[in-house]
Amino acid sequence: MSTEILSLERVNALRNQPRAPVSLNELVLKTIVEHRDEARQKDINLITQLDTTPMEVMADATSLPEAIANLVGNAIKYTLPGGFVTVRLAREGKDSALFEVIDTGVGIREESQTRLFEPFYRVKSEETAKIDGTGLGLYLVKRIVEQHGGTLRFSSVYGEGSKFGFTMPLGQPQGESQK
């Protein structure tokens, strides 16, 4: 929990942090490599669908990888053995990237979906009762994505799985010119 509290403090200060060009392709690939063993140990099929077109975003080098890792880690955590987790990165239009994590996990009941991004909120169900967590992860992801000019996406069907992702503008922040 202390790690997530520190992350919360860092995200609150994110508005003032310098941004640098970061390869979204490399961040996503690194996250997949970091989670491959965890998926294998749970007998989860980790599928990748990565556009090879270079996608660079202006980002804080600490928080954006944390958001991506949280979404991939959650998908693995809430997917039962034998299930599938698909990690997808694609260009969306001319100026945006789309990152998505789609799982065949337990899914989220409709009545819990409206509170999902509140700090410290945890979905309470028989399927999630034994899964550890603080309820800060998705709140942090939402804050990080929004502070990078992105938009969070989410859909879930209880008993079938979930899709979490975001779109994020590519290139330099508005107002900056190419050098």
Residue 70 lies in a domain: yes
Whole-structure pTM value: 0.85
* Domain-located, residue 175: no
Ranges in the chain, pLDDT < 50: 1-2, 5-6, 173-179
Could you tell me if residue 68 is inside a domain? Answer: yes
Whether 179 maps to a domain, the answer reads no
Q: How far apart are CA 2 and CA 147, in angstroms?
A: 22
How many domains does the chain contain in total? 1
- Per DSSP, the three-state class of 156 is strand
| Domain span at 131 | 2-14+24-169
Gap between the terminal Cα atoms of the chain: 42
List the CATH number of the domain containing 46: 3.30.565.10
Q: Distance between CA atoms of 4 and 58, rounded to whole angstroms? A: 23
> What confidence tens digit (pLDDT) does each residue in 126-162 have?
665 566 766 688 999 999 999 999 999 999 999 999 9
